[in-house]
Amino acid sequence: MDKLSVMQAFRRIVERGSFARAAADLGVSPALLSREIKLLEESLGTTLLTRTTRAMSLTDAGRLFYDQAGGILDAVTRVETRIRDGAGAVRGHLKVNASSSFGQMVLAPMLPGFLDAYPDLRLSLSLDDRVVDMVEGGFDVSVRIRPTLPDSALVARRIGTMRQRIFAAPAYLRSVGRPEVPQDIGQHRVVGFLLADHLTTWTLHGPAGATVVLDLDPPVRVGNSLVLRDLLIAGQGIGTLPDFVSNEAEARGALVRVLPEWELPAPEIFAVTASRLGMDARVTAFLDHLRAALRT
């Protein structure tokens, strides 16, 4: 029995919560995986997993084996990564998750250069505006934009900060008038972002440290920043946009800033990895290219 392979299989089963999903990840049959774990349990003289038709759980021995095996596998991964890095090789399969708008506006333009630099690398990019379970999805890195991230077993690295400003189309403002103070926003048609923390409450920071909190009830609410941008360009109201979505439209005059001295709190751009993966060569290379893209 290949102990390292069985350790990897056992950890994948626990993290995926299913023999079938783990087998699919590893490219083997569930039956083979089941036999391997049975042989492992027989060699240890104890039960590691209890299974029913509906659920699977770790025994105390299984929890101990999972924790200790994880440390061994992480140590092996670190050694392999150092060797690969020393040889300048970035290869394997990198799975990345990001929001739809960030993926289209920031990641898509940088990917050709990244892929050209590492031709031996396979890439899977998943775009989802909702926060996904990294372990469940098998992702190596997830790019998340949040004011803060909750404590978890994941490792979050801040790679940038974005600005969140208020915009409208020039035609809309000519038609209904331009807000002069934050409180005027309540008299306008607001287009809101469904997944934002500030959908109905805008906390605006302005000159000399001033803060104004607005309670709003947007009549139009969408779950994608690019759709929101296009609605604003079409003159459908006033809304907030991150800079990576608004920059191009503002530069060509399709959108203008409303109350330019006032902004919402600036969210951070985080690169999130599962602690078991750390910063291997694939993730390091990807984040180096992403940081460069964010600086341009």
CATH number of the domain within which 206 lies: 3.40.190.10
**pLDDT, greater one: 8 or 154:** 8
User: Could you report the per-residue pLDDT of 92-109, keeping only the tens digit for each?
Assistant: 889 999 989 999 999 999
Q: Is the pLDDT of residue 29 over 80?
A: yes
For position 74, what pLDDT does the model report? 83
Share of the chain above pLDDT 70, in %: 92
Domain boundary pick from 85, 105, 139: 85
B/e letters for 215-234, b = 16+ CB within 10 Å, e = fewer, are ebebeebbebbeebbebbbe
Residues 47 and 180 in one domain: no
Q: Could you tell me if 140 and 281 lie in one domain?
A: yes
Residues 153 and 171 in one domain: no
Read off the pLDDT of residues 132-188 as tens digits, 9 standing for 90 and up.
777 777 888 989 887 776 655 667 788 888 999 999 999 999 999 999 999 999 999
Domain identity same for 62 and 194: no
| Residue 142 belongs to some domain of the structure | yes
Residue 146: how many CB atoms within 10 A of its CB?
Answer: 14
The predicted-structure confidence for 115-134, as pLDDT tens digits, reads as follows 999 998 999 999 987 777 77
- Give the three-state DSSP class for 179: coil
- Structure tokens given for 12: 């994948």
In a domain, residue 282? The reply is yes
The span from the CA of 177 to the CA of 179, in Å, is: 7
**Count of the separate structural domains present in the chain:** 3
Residue 280 domain flag = yes
Q: 78-87, 134-143, 162-171, 278-287: which has the minimum mean pLDDT? A: 78-87
Beta strands in the chain (DSSP E): 49-51, 56-58, 92-98, 121-127, 141-146, 154-161, 164-168, 191-193, 201-205, 211-215, 220-222, 239-242, 256-257, 268-274
178 and 245 both lie in a single domain: yes
76 and 123: one domain? Answer: no
Same domain, residue pair 69 and 97: no
What span, in angstroms and rounded, lies between the C-alpha atoms of 38 and 50? 11
> How would DSSP label each residue in 221-241?
EES-HHHHHHHHHTT--BEEE
* H or E element in which residue 68 lies: helix 60-86
Q: Residue 252 belongs to what domain range?
A: 164-257
Q: What is the pLDDT of residues 236-258, one digit of tens each?
A: 999 999 999 999 999 999 999 99
Res 139: pLDDT: 87
Domain boundary among 45, 67, 85: 85
For residue 31, name the pLDDT band (cuts at 50, 70, 90): confident
Q: At what angle do helices 225-233 and 243-251 cross, to 10 degrees?
A: 30
pLDDT score, position 173: 96
Question: Do 125 and 75 have their domain in common?
Answer: no
Q: Are residues 121 and 250 in the same domain?
A: no
Q: Which whole number is the average pLDDT over 13-37? A: 85
Q: What's the burial of 37, exposed, middle or buried (CB within 10 Å: 0-12/13-18/19+)?
A: buried
Q: Are residues 95 and 77 in the same domain?
A: no
Residue 262 belongs to some domain of the structure: no
CATH number at residue 22: 1.10.10.10
Does residue 281 sit in the same domain as residue 152? yes
Q: What is the pLDDT at residue 277? A: 44
Inside any domain, residue 263: no
